[in-house]
Structure 1
Amino acid sequence: PATTTFHDQQRERSERPRSKMASSSHAEIADVLTRAIHTVFSEWTALGMAVENEWGGRNTRDKALALLQQVCHGMLTSEAVHADELEALLDSALLDDFNIEAEDDSPAQIARLLCALHAEAKAGQLATANALLAKAAAKRPENNWIAAPLPPKARKAGDSSDEEGDE
């Protein structure tokens, strides 16, 4: 069988077992990989700022969570994940969904890290994933935009609300 890519995931799911992670403890590896992917996304500064400031509109957080879910699903179900394809997906999502033109090379950095996590997980290794999770556990939970509620927005002069009467 030919090696599949991130973009072949839908066809791959219907033709073969759900995951390709090589391990006697597949469920553990899939769980650790999923948590590591969530950690990578939660610590991605550009995406975190987009969510915090609602750069993608009122449903910015939903868009970010959908991107996270798409990447997570692709990594868990694809035989091969290519950094260039993943970078293109992330870069496009930043621009299209959050109006961010990433000049800091973060989509490429995130893509390379995710590919390393995927390759290790396929080999039954969790060293990088566990290191990321340990580092994240030492941080305060409010640094995690995925799990933490957004702080209430301060009202600005001139803002309207449903409580004010229409004139």
Structure 2
Amino acid sequence: MADNSELFRNIVESIFNTWTALRLAVEHGMGGHRGKEIVLRLVDEVTNLVCKGDIGAEEIADFLIEFMDTEFHTECEDNSPDEVATVLWQFYQHCKAGNHNEINLELSKLPKCEVWLCKPLRPMNTQEEAMDSEDAVSSGQSSNIAVGELDPEWTQVKSKRRKERL
């Protein structure tokens, strides 16, 4: 069963890589600066939940909905937690039955996307961030907040400067 658990964990990770609502929640900082770490914890929790108990797709969906709300303050109005839960449940049934050919076939049908979840977390470079903040203040953008007083609950979004056309 340990092999099935590890196989299923990899499947969960692959499916979460294709889940747009989850990726957007992380990219938009809905889980704070440790969004990817939260998702990796979600991968482990879903793997344990499904592998340890006899649960159905509805229970998985309820868990995903609750997790997205609690950890990412995100409500998925697109029904995606239900869809993800159904796919996860189906894959787990294939794992239990040892249908590795079916697993490979179904995995090949998943949409191709950038693998964002497995990428190593980039450590924050505070000196670089401080310089960017100072540049924003000195470039004419007014701010009443000193560089070192940024609210840790907010994510600073920096715009990219467009190159001038010749």
Shift in alpha-carbon separation, 1:139–1:111, aligned structure 2, 3 A? closer
Q: 2:104 is aligned with what amino acid?
A: N
* Structure 2 equivalent of residue 147 of structure 1: 118
Q: How does 1:18-29 map to 2 (within 5 A)?
A: 19=1, 27=3, 29=4
Q: Can you give the 5+ residue segments of structure 1 that lack an aligned partner in the other structure?
A: 1-18, 20-25, 163-167
* Structure 2 equivalent of residue 87 of structure 1: 61
1:51 matched to 2:26: yes
1:34 matched to 2:9: yes
When Rg is computed on C-alpha atoms for both structures, the one with the higher figure is 2
Please, which moves more after superposition, 35-44 or 106-115? Answer: 35-44
Aligned pair count reads 133
Identity rate of aligned residues, in percent? 26
How big is the shift at 1:39? 0.2
Q: Say if 1:36 and 1:130, in contact at 8 Å, map to a contact too.
A: no
**Quick one: higher RCO (CA 8 Å, sep 6+), 1 or 2?**
1
How big is the shift at 1:33? 2.4
Counterpart secondary structure, 2:31:
coil
Q: How does 1:92-111 map to 2 (within 5 A)?
A: 92-111=66-85
1:61 matched to 2:23: no
Task: Please report the TM-score for the alignment, with normalisation by the length of structure 2.
Answer: 0.66
* Structure 1 equivalent of residue 105 of structure 2: 131
Task: Please report the TM-score for the alignment, with normalisation by the length of structure 1.
Answer: 0.66
How big is the shift at 1:128? 4.4
Q: Can you give the 5+ residue segments of structure 2 that lack an aligned partner in the other structure?
A: 137-142, 149-166
CA distance, structure 2, for counterparts of residue 146 and residue 160 of structure 1: 34
**Which residue, out of 68, 72, 76, partners 2:51?**
76
Q: CA RMSD in A?
A: 2.9
How big is the shift at 1:135? 5.3
* Structure 1 equivalent of residue 91 of structure 2: 117
